[in-house]
Amino acid sequence: MPIFAFAMRVLLAVIVGWLVLSSSALAQMSPAPARPAATSPRAAACHNGLSFDRFLADLKQQALADGVSQRALAEAAPYLVYDQGIVNRDRGQRVFGQIFTEFAGRMAAPYRMQQGQARIKAYAAAFARAEKEYGVPPAVIAAFWGLESDFGSNMGNLPTLRSLVSLAYDCRRSEMFQGETIAALKIIDRGDLAPSEMIGSWAGELGQTQFLPKHYFNYAVDYDGDGRRNLLSSPPDVIGSTANYIATGLKWRRGEPWLEEVRAPAASSFPWDQADLTIQLPRSKWAQSGVTYPDGRPLPNDDLPASLLLPMGRTGPAFLAYANFAAYTEWNNSLIYSTTAGYLATRIAGAAPMRRPATPVAQLPFSEIRELQQLLVRAGFTVGKVDGVLGQQSRSAVKAMQIKYGLPADSWPTAELLARMRGGPRAQAQPAGATAAR
């Protein structure tokens, strides 16, 4: 899955009620009806003023040079049309945020866990084969399958080639989508899908685990033996292909865990600055610091490296993230999405429900997170976009300022930190649910 997919699919889907975050969230679970193709789009500056028709002619030549046949181009030609509505969607998308417990409560709900377990039973042979060949546990595959499309129920309804070529002509990510368009043509050329079958999200993702065409072409496998790699309607192909991508593309480590819920001590003396995905310590070290399983059982006294992950700071849920968690952040770089996907996989595999915070986690509203980002930029930090969304760069900057002011350095923005940076009296945090954290 592409890194940007969360913004385009899953989160949009959650906020608009599974219109997916997309995308990712975001999985574009139920996109709007297709708009008619524009006949005369404005010439894109990044293509030296070339009209769309001239641009498309050049793109076809690139495809031919890359091995696409004339036959595939002829089959695809009626679908290679420009749609300004797709570009407008891409330009107008916003990253809507939710706190982790809210997002996970929706997306890792019991019904999705139960459906994941039911799919594992229904397609036991395909899951067993995938685990044997690729080392990826069934629960991991099922969790992505459920989050990305609700097991094939919501894959989008827009013509993929039209979406891809429109985004290729637009200047925002032209080079990327030129490559994706050519990859889609290769899928047609290989005989996996006909152009008319290529229906998906507005951002060009295809299939029940929402692969961009390059991932589809490179990692899709034929698991049902019909000679095609069909990720739209063949569950065995979906299972095998997703396992192949996770293992080969995302470097899954066979036989190792990915995420476990734990309980961290409440003491302010705990080394909160060590709670960071960039820091790995042996489980024995976390155990010595007082980290336990949620029910109080001790962690194994071994050297397996793990990071302490606090998606909502030291008063929220806590997890040990292992090396395989990197596959989740590579699939989608949103911390909320990746943690939810990992947590859902643990639930499908039989883990107990997540412990809820004893008291609501105090949070800053969207406007104050944006203000905090502005203050961090003035202090010399790089936070990415100043957008009120707490991404990884913002979290790292928050942690650095917490250390500077002698506050618990758990990377979670607080009213006290904002007040210190303002240089004024402490403000009051708002109730849970008021922030946009990613």
Mean pLDDT of 331-343: 94
What is the predicted pLDDT for the residue at 424?
55
Least confident of 163-167, 269-273, 319-323: 269-273
Least confident of 180-184, 298-302, 393-397: 393-397
What is the predicted pLDDT for the residue at 247?
98
pLDDT digits (tens, 9 = 90+) for 60-110: 999 999 999 999 999 999 999 999 999 998 887 655 567 899 999 999 999
Least confident of 34-38, 40-44, 80-84, 126-130: 34-38
Residue 418 CB: number of other CB atoms within 10 A?
21
Higher pLDDT, 305 or 34: 305
Q: Can you tell me the distance from the alpha carbon of 173 to that of 167, in angstroms, rounded to the nearest whole number?
A: 7
pLDDT digits (tens, 9 = 90+) for 203-245: 999 999 999 999 999 999 999 999 999 999 999 999 999 999 9
How high is the mean pLDDT of the chain?
Answer: 87
* Alpha-carbon separation of residue 120 from 130, 258, 280, 319, 418 (angstroms): 11, 19, 32, 25, 47
pLDDT band at 5 (very low <50, low <70, confident <90, very high): very low
Q: Can you tell me the distance from the alpha carbon of 293 to that of 277, in angstroms, rounded to the nearest whole number?
A: 19
pLDDT digits (tens, 9 = 90+) for 341-380: 999 999 999 999 999 888 888 888 889 999 999 999 999 9
pLDDT band at 44 (very low <50, low <70, confident <90, very high): low
Mean pLDDT of 33-41: 45
| Ordered DSSP codes for 216-269 | HHHH----SSSSS--TTT-HHHHHHHHHHIIIIIS---TT---EEEEB----TT
Q: Can you tell me the distance from the alpha carbon of 118 to that of 392, in angstroms, rounded to the nearest whole number?
A: 35
SS3 309: strand
Is residue 27 within 8 A of residue 20, CB to CB? The reply is yes
Higher pLDDT, 334 or 154: 154
What is the predicted pLDDT for the residue at 96?
52
Is residue 195 within 8 A of residue 78, CB to CB? The reply is yes
pLDDT digits (tens, 9 = 90+) for 413-436: 999 999 999 985 444 444 444 444
- pLDDT of 254 strictly over 90: yes
Q: What is this structure's pTM? A: 0.86
Q: Can you tell me the distance from the alpha carbon of 85 to that of 113, in angstroms, rounded to the nearest whole number?
A: 36
Q: Which residues of 258-285 are buried (b: 16+ CB within 10 A; e: fewer)?
A: bbbbbbbeeeeebebebbbbeebbbbeb
Residue 43 CB: number of other CB atoms within 10 A?
14
What is the predicted pLDDT for the residue at 392?
85
261: left (phi over 0), alpha (psi -120 to 50) or beta: beta
